Structures are given as C-alpha cells and as structure tokens.
Amino acid sequence: MRVYHTSDLHDRRGFVARLRRLRDELPGLLFDCGDSLRGSQTVYVRNEPIVAELAAAGYDAQAVGNREFHYLFGVMQARASRLRHRLVCSNLVDMKDRPLPFARSLRFLHRDAAAPVEIQVLGLLVMQYPTGSAWERAFGWRFLQPWDAVNEHVAGITDDAFLIVLSHLGLAHDRRLAKRVPRIDLILGGHSHDTLTSPEFVAGVPIVHAGPYGKYVSRTEFADSRDIDGRFPLLRFDLLPLLATS
C-alpha cells in the first residue's frame, strides 16, 4: 500500500506535473491535510485558484483545515462544492442536523494485494472553541475532542482495516493522539508547519509531516497485511521535493 500526502499549501501552485509524474511511476492514494485555501474561518474568498490545481493533481480526499472551515454553514458549503475531491472531518458535528458538506469518514479498497485491504480514513480539525461553548448555539458547530472522535470510529471497524488519520491538529497533538489511540495505523499531519524527514513513531504509530507550502510530498509504503505484532510494517518512506528548490 502506498500513500502520498501534502499539507498547508496556502495557495501555493505549480506542483501538478511533478505530483502526477510521481504517481504515474508509483501509484498510490493522494491526500491533503488541510489549509490549501487563502480564505479562513472568518474570511470567504470566492476565487481560489488552488482549487483547479488540486483537481488537476487528482487528490482522493482532504482533511478540513481551519482554512477550509468557516463558522457560517453556508460559506463552508460553498467551499466544499467547489472541490472535486471529498473533504473529511470526524470531530465536527452540526447541532442543527443539516446535510454536512464533508464526510465523517471515508473508505477505500486496496486491491493490489493477495486479499483486498480495507482502508478507513478519518479527518481531524483543530478545535476552534471548546465543546459546550456558547459559540455552538451561535453557529451550530460542535467540536469533539479528536481522540474521542477517533475512538468512537475505531469501535465500528474491523481489526484488519488499515486506519489513516488526516490530521490538522499539529505535531504535538498528533503525538498525544497516537498515545491515546494506538489502533491508528498512520497519522498524516499538518497545521503546525513541521517537516519530518522520516516518520516519528509514538506508541507504535507512525506520524508523517511533509511540511507547508507544497515544498514536499510524503510517500509512505506499507506491507499488505499485519505482522506478528499486529502492525502493518512500514516498508519505505520518502520525502520528495515538489516546489522545493534545494
């Protein structure tokens, strides 16, 4: 199994040809961990040139970052409708029970194996205000503690499923998440603009951060089945330049 990931692009463009070439040579799922846009949770920018870039690159899914999130439901709907790929956020709940502009979880199937492997994908957004805040009544959004949201999902998946978390929490919270939910098979991270030249293992969970501004894309490869320790062995990791000049 092979997974590519970027994060915190912040409207940096010009990486499509390189990214498509990498995936043509070695196919794999492509994810982004949020903050690709110029807008923010309070500012709506109607024309987002990065949207066409993401579509051309062929992303499979993206976590909701604080640049994709908006306090106003209608604005967030408008943002999501412009994207070709799916948004995923597992710790954001609409208290008004409106149709969500993102998935709570996603499922993929890795078929290039002796037996197909189910891949479950969750997304986590850094909390914009505490659970139970008065802002919930104002905007209708409730933020759940990330580890609680993941644990709730874990209870409903099979032991054989490969669980990926697209995290927009930052590296410090990713470490905390790994300790609290060691069932996770891979944390792909963003938000804190950290660049890890190799995966960091916490409680047996590999954490990958490719850094901001499209300088790099991570490529992580795993075996197709669990080993005697109950883990999918990590076979290879590469931090590959996209827009980096050195």
Q: Which two structure tokens, joined as six digits, stand for 197?
A: 């030249």
Query: What's the pLDDT score for residue 43?
Result: 64
* Residue 65 belongs to some domain of the structure: yes
Burial of 102 (0-12, 13-18, 19+ CB in 10 A): buried
The enclosing domain of 55 has a CATH number of 3.60.21.10
pLDDT of residue 245: 66
Q: What is the pLDDT of residues 42-85, one digit of tens each?
A: 666 677 889 999 999 999 999 999 989 988 999 999 989 989 99
Determine, yes or no, domain membership for 162.
yes
User: Does residue 130 fall inside a structural domain?
Assistant: yes
Which band of pLDDT confidence, cut at 50, 70 and 90, is reported for residue 39? low
Q: Say if residue 185's pLDDT is above 70.
A: yes
Output the pLDDT for position 42: 65
Domain carrying residue 29: 2-241
The amino acid at 229 = D
Give the mean model confidence (pLDDT) for residues 188-216: 98
Start-to-end C-alpha separation, the chain: 29
In a domain, 172, yes or no: yes
Averaged pLDDT of the chain: 94
Considering the domain boundaries, does residue 64 fall inside one? yes
Tell me whether residue 25 is in a domain: yes
Looking at 3-17, 65-79, 135-149, 224-238, which range is the least confident one?
65-79
Residue 223 neighbours by CB under 8 Å, 6+ apart = 1, 232, 233, 235
Question: Would you mind telling me the total number of residues written for the chain in this entry?
Answer: 246
- Judge whether 136 lies within some domain: yes
d(CA 63, CA 205): 19
What pLDDT shows up at residue 225?
Answer: 92
In a domain? residue 83: yes
Q: What pLDDT digit, counting tens, does each position of 203-220 carry? A: 999 999 999 999 999 999
Percent of the chain with pLDDT over 90: 83
Instruction: Give DSSP secondary structure letters for 183-221.
Output: T-SEEEE-SS--B-SSPEEETTEEEEEB-STTSEEEEEE
Q: What is the pLDDT of residue 38?
A: 77
Place of tokens 């199994």: 1
Q: What is the mean pLDDT of residues 99-104?
A: 96
And the tokens for 2? 């092979």
pLDDT of residue 73: 92
Q: How many domains does the chain have?
A: 1
- Strands 117-125 and 162-168 turn out to be parallel
